[in-house]
Amino acid sequence: MSSTRSPHLRFGLIFAALAFILDQVTKWVITVPLSLEPKGQIEVVSFFNLTWAENCGISLSMFASCTDTTRWTLVAVTGLVAAAVAIWMTREQAKGDVIALAMILGGALGNIVDRVRFGYVVDFADLHFGDFRPFMIFNVADACITLGVLLLVARALLLGEKAATTDGKPSAE
């Protein structure tokens, strides 16, 4: 990773802002026009529901505790992660990695805003096949974070060997 400024930084920041806005708009639709909380659940199609869930923990509702201490600790930790991702994004030369980092940054910021405003993260996307649920109930921010991490891992695994075999210079894809 180079210490020079990423040529894709502006694009990355716009992409992160779009991920953040999409997350917040979908949560607004869920909480205001659809008023999902009092309804609990709306079936969209046979394998996808909008289901109200308040996530006081982190991924997969781990460390769930709806205390003020947990709330502000998670805001601080997530804020530090977001700051580290933003710094990484300013230095990353590969456009694909900048996109992945932007997704993680936008998602993290969306969940931070929820935790500050409500004390929990609003989750609502409930994908299921009968009783089988491949994921916990999630939101757009969670999807962005997950896809961003998977993209970083895939690029590292698939392009790592390619970058190592070129003349010692990482590609700036």
Instruction: Indicate the average pLDDT of the chain.
Output: 89
Helix, strand, coil shares of the chain, percent, nearest 5, are: 60, 15, 25
Tell me which residue of 88, 95, 104 sits closest to 16, measured CA to CA. Answer: 104
3-state SS, 118-140, equals: HCCEEEEEEECECCECCCCCECH
Residue of 123, 126, 131, 167 marked active site: 123
Q: Are 74 and 115 in contact (CB under 8 A)?
A: yes
123 is an active site residue: yes
Q: Which two tokens stand for residue 71?
A: 């709330």
Kindly name the residue from 23, 97, 114, 142 that is annotated as catalytic. Answer: 142
- C-alpha 132/C-alpha 88 separation (Å) is 37
Query: 98 to each of 15, 21, 154, 166, how far by Cα in Å?
Result: 9, 18, 14, 21
Q: Please write the tens of the pLDDT for every residue from 131-156.
A: 899 888 999 999 999 999 999 999 99
Contact 9, 95 (CB under 8 A): no
Q: What does the block give as tokens for 83? A: 């700051």
Residue type, 18: L
Q: Is 142 a catalytic residue?
A: yes
pLDDT tens readout for residues 99-108: 999 999 999 9
Instruction: Give the torsion sign (CA, 116, 117, 119, 120).
Output: negative
What is the arithmetic mean of pLDDT over 5-19? Answer: 96
Pick the range with the lowest mean pLDDT from 5-19, 86-100, 126-140, 154-168. 154-168
Residue-range domain boundaries for the chain = 9-132+140-165
What is the predicted pLDDT for the residue at 57?
Answer: 76
Single pTM value for the model: 0.86
Quick one: how far is CA 43 from the chain centroid?
A: 24
